[in-house]
Amino acid sequence: MTHPLFRNVVHTAWNKGAPDVVKCLLEVQKDATSFNKKVFGNIFVKKRELERLLNDVQITLESREDQQLRIKEQVLRQELNVVLLQEELLWRKRNKIHGLFLVDGSWAMETSTLEMAANSFQKLFSTREDIDLDAMGHFPYPSLSTETCQKLVEPVTSEEVKGAAMSSFKAPGPDGFQAIFYKEF
């Protein structure tokens, strides 16, 4: 998504599948994968190469001042920053549980199985006893101002809903797309 030509890839792919949204998403997924391989390749190799080039330029600049090398250093820094952002987005995308190994050694990817596991962990790490709120004595409870209370009952705007419900980097849905894709395109 950080590449300037990616918007065109999405637009072209979307039009191939129109008017069926599911087909559109499949086309985008297919074309985005192809675009990624052709344009980005292995982002980790690209990062290492940029770091090596930048290091070489900086070592040369330590021994002699050269305006052309200073410009090259700036360009390499900018390219490296873009690659670092892309790497961060890649790691966020990979931060997802795709499945679990069950006790019998089988691999489970079904939503119901994953939800059951999540519920088990929630029960395991949640409190099971009532908590005595007065155990530490009396503490004054903070209160809200009249103005703040009024804001709580005001109608919710669509921007607030989008901001709260669609965190950009939550795990992808069943279609494989994170919320940032829908926000952007």
The pLDDT value given to residue 60: 95
On whether the CB atoms of residues 50 and 80 are closer than 8 A, the answer is: yes
Q: What residue spans define the domains of the chain?
A: 6-94, 98-124, 143-185
Q: What percent of the chain has pLDDT over 70?
A: 88
Q: What is the pTM of this model?
A: 0.47
Query: In which band, very low, low, confident or very high, does the pLDDT at 121 lie, cut at 50, 70 and 90?
Result: confident
State how far the Cα of 143 lies from the Cα of 141, in Å rounded to an integer. 6
DSSP category for residue 39: I
Whole-number average pLDDT of the chain: 84
The pLDDT value given to residue 94: 67
Write the CB contacts of 86 (distance below 8 Å, at least 6 apart in sequence): 2, 40, 43
Query: In which band, very low, low, confident or very high, does the pLDDT at 164 lie, cut at 50, 70 and 90?
Result: low
12 three-state secondary structure? helix
Most confident of 39-43, 64-68, 174-178: 64-68
**Cα dihedral 122, 125, 128, 132 sign:** negative
Query: Is 133 a residue whose pLDDT tops 80?
Result: no
CA-to-CA dists, residue 15 to 1, 41, 100, 106, angstroms: 18, 25, 37, 40
Query: In which band, very low, low, confident or very high, does the pLDDT at 172 lie, cut at 50, 70 and 90?
Result: low
pLDDT tens for each residue of 68-101: 999 999 999 999 998 998 888 777 766 677 778 8
Query: Is 129 a residue whose pLDDT tops 90?
Result: no
Residue with tokens 């069943």: 174
Residue type for position 127: T
Lowest mean pLDDT among 43-47, 50-54, 89-93: 89-93
pLDDT tens for each residue of 1-24: 778 899 999 999 999 988 998 899
On whether the CB atoms of residues 58 and 70 are closer than 8 A, the answer is: no
Residue with tokens 């795990």: 171
